[in-house]
Amino acid sequence: MVNVTLEAVEVRFGSRSIVSGISAELAAGSLIGIIGPNGAGKSTLIRALMGLLPLSGGSVRIDGQPIAEIGRQAMAQRLAYLPQGQVLHWPLTVERMVALGRLPHLTPFSRLSHNDHAVIEQAMERADVIHLRGRDATELSGGERARAMLARALAVGAQGLVVDEPLASLDPGHQIDVMELLAHEARGGALVVAVLHDLTMAARYCSRLLLIDEGKLVADGTPAQVLTAERLTAVYGITAMIDTANGAPIIVPLARI
């Protein structure tokens, strides 16, 4: 199990504050959505969480250990990361691209084991790209590429999964599939952290939401606690219809304020 502690996390680019004083406990077995308007600092926060950006202040700990003390390979084995908008620059089959997810478990010049191949196969099945295994990954549609990239992250077999806008380019059916898969991972004991823009999907599937605005954490709680009409107006500058289905909020933006 993986647990992450953010304590007064600060990230600055020059004189500009991007993330300011964010603290949160991210527990194993949870699907946690990070939401907020464009430019709020969501992607910067998760890159800092992964140790990909230096902190200007505060700390990030994985199971109580500061990330600065965790080696790159050990970090990659514990938290798989799927950034947004990845571009493929080389012609690999989907199967070979997904196999790259096993790199954190390999030593130099080692070969994939029988277990590695089994994990790769399972990851492709779970992300619904098994039928694309022989396709050139550079020739995939946007939605196919997004699912193949998710399969690569799943192939790591990490106990934590951090994904940035995993629903981009996906049709509604595959959006549901991806969120079901992320929720399944969390139910199985993994920590899953997802940056999301679709508020209804976030409300339906996430057990907890962190709402960020201008680099600050403005709300942390269940979807019903976070997604209030007042907060949608204050943070997103919109009016919205808020209804419920199966106990989860449904958010329909109506107009700009």
pLDDT at 169: 81
Mean pLDDT value of segment 186-211:
96
Residues 53-112 have pLDDT tens digits of 999 999 999 999 999 899 888 999 999 999 987 777 778 999 999 999 999 998 888 899
pTM of the predicted structure, to 2 decimals: 0.92
Q: Is residue 231 very low, low, confident or very high in pLDDT (cuts 50, 70, 90)?
A: very high
**Domains, the chain, ordered by start:** 4-256 (3.40.50.300)
Q: pLDDT-based confidence at 136, cuts 50/70/90?
A: very high
Mean pLDDT of the chain: 93
Provide the pLDDT confidence category of residue 146 given band limits of 50, 70 and 90.
Answer: confident
Radius of gyration of the chain from Cα atoms?
Answer: 18
SS3 assignment for 74-97 = HHHHHEEEECCCCCCCCCCEHHHH
Instruction: State yes or no: pLDDT of 234 exceeds 80.
Output: yes
* Mean pLDDT of the 33-47 span: 96
Q: DSSP class of residue 215?
A: T
Q: How far apart are CA 253 and CA 257, in angstroms?
A: 11
- Mean pLDDT value across residues 128-150: 90
pLDDT at position 247 is 81
**Which one is predicted more confidently, 121 or 249?**
121
| Helix (H) or strand (E) run with residue 211 in it | strand 208-213
